């Protein structure tokens, strides 16, 4: 297990650098740049801007400097917010995204696991059909549709919750909006995983030994049935913690997703690269944790 973890940790750096390289290339080949607008700048001013930010150097030198700074974890200052470094902007906005993301995923787990387990135990029942139909509805309605609908109902019609404010009551609608699609995925994955496990040989053996149904369910079936959910949790939770772009924009949350939109619109290359690097490393770390958890959930899984 230890050698497996070390190998995976060593792979994180080259994989993150590959993602950052692709991002850098895409930003550079896109038309326009951060200093151009509707009015063309005089040639002298444009030359001074390029010299200030090192854009007058050959592309391979610019790429080498960017790569070296990335390895050191220093993305420099934002081009738009020149008084703040990229690292400061990320760590300032990340807590907002983390709070919303964690609460949304906890709610999604509570709803999805409960619905999926009950649906698997009552297969082809009214609850099974009803919960899976709601799950399909949750998968079909995107965040940018559900968010405004919730604002319209609970903020503009009923006046129960604020439409956009960072407070205890103000985060309810964003959390519900974010959790809907994840709860739907978890419900369907849990049902499918539980049905597969409940039909397996070792569950039949456990029942044949005389174990009561509660013990069979909690000690054997649930552990194996949750493996698909755990696989989904890694990238899903990383994406939630890093900020969901649409939801943060709809509810005016000053999180990572919101500043990423602004960075793309402003062609703020250092900020774009910093957020992409942070997100890619976060996803790979969560995927590693998911792989490690497989060994605890299923004793048959061993890592060499």
**Among residues 108, 127, 120, which one has the least CA distance to residue 244?**
108
Do 202 and 238 contact (CB within 8 A), yes or no? no
Rounded distance, CA 273 to CA 268, Å?
Answer: 9
**Among residues 115, 96, 116, which one has the least CA distance to residue 174?**
96
pLDDT along the chain (304 residues), means of 10: 78 89 89 69 77 83 89 84 86 89 91 90 87 88 87 88 80 90 91 80 69 67 76 78 76 86 86 89 83 67 59
Rounded distance, CA 166 to CA 33, Å?
Answer: 33
Q: All domains of the chain, ordered by start, with CATH? A: 94-262 (1.10.3720.10)
The three-state secondary structure class of 82 is: coil
| pLDDT recorded at residue 53 | 78
The three-state secondary structure class of 276 is: helix
74: which residues sit within 8 A by CB, 6+ positions away? 87
188: which residues sit within 8 A by CB, 6+ positions away? 116, 132, 135, 139
Radius of gyration of the chain (CA): 24
Do 243 and 178 contact (CB within 8 A), yes or no? no
Q: Which residues pair with 77 in a beta bridge?
A: 85
81: which residues sit within 8 A by CB, 6+ positions away? 89
């Amino acid at each position: 297990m230890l050698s497996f973890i070390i190998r995976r940790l060593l792979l994180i750096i080259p994989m993150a650098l590959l993602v950052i390289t692709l991002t850098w290339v895409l930003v550079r080949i896109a038309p326009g740049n951060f200093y151009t607008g509707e009015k063309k700048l005089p040639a002298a001013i444009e030359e001074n801007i390029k010299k200030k930010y090192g854009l007058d150097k050959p592309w391979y030198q610019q790429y080498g400097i960017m790569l070296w700074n990335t390895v050191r974890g220093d993305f420099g200052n934002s081009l738009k917010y020149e008084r703040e470094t990229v690292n400061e902007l990320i760590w300032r906005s990340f807590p907002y995204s983390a709070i919303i993301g964690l609460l949304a995923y906890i709610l999604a787990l509570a709803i999805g696991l409960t619905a999926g387990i009950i649906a698997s135990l009552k297969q082809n029942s009214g609850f099974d059909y009803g919960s899976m139909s709601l799950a399909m509805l949750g998968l079909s309605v995107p965040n940018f549709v559900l968010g405004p609908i919730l604002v319209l109902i609970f903020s503009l019609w009923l006046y129960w919750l604020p439409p956009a404010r960072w407070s205890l009551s103000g985060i309810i609608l964003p959390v519900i909006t974010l959790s809907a699609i994840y709860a739907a995925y978890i419900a369907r994955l849990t049902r499918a995983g539980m049905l597969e496990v409940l039909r397996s040989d070792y569950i039949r053996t456990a029942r044949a030994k005389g174990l009561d149904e509660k013990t069979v369910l909690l000690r054997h079936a649930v552990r194996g049935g949750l493996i698909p959910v755990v696989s989904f949790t890694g990238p899903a939770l990383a994406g939630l913690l890093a900020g969901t772009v649409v939801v943060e924009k709809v509810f005016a949350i000053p999180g990572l997703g919101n500043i990423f939109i602004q960075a793309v619109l402003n062609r703020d290359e250092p900020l774009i690269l910093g957020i992409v690097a942070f997100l890619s490393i976060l996803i790979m770390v969560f995927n590693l944790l998911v792989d490690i958890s497989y060994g605890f959930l299923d004793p048959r899984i061993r890592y060499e």
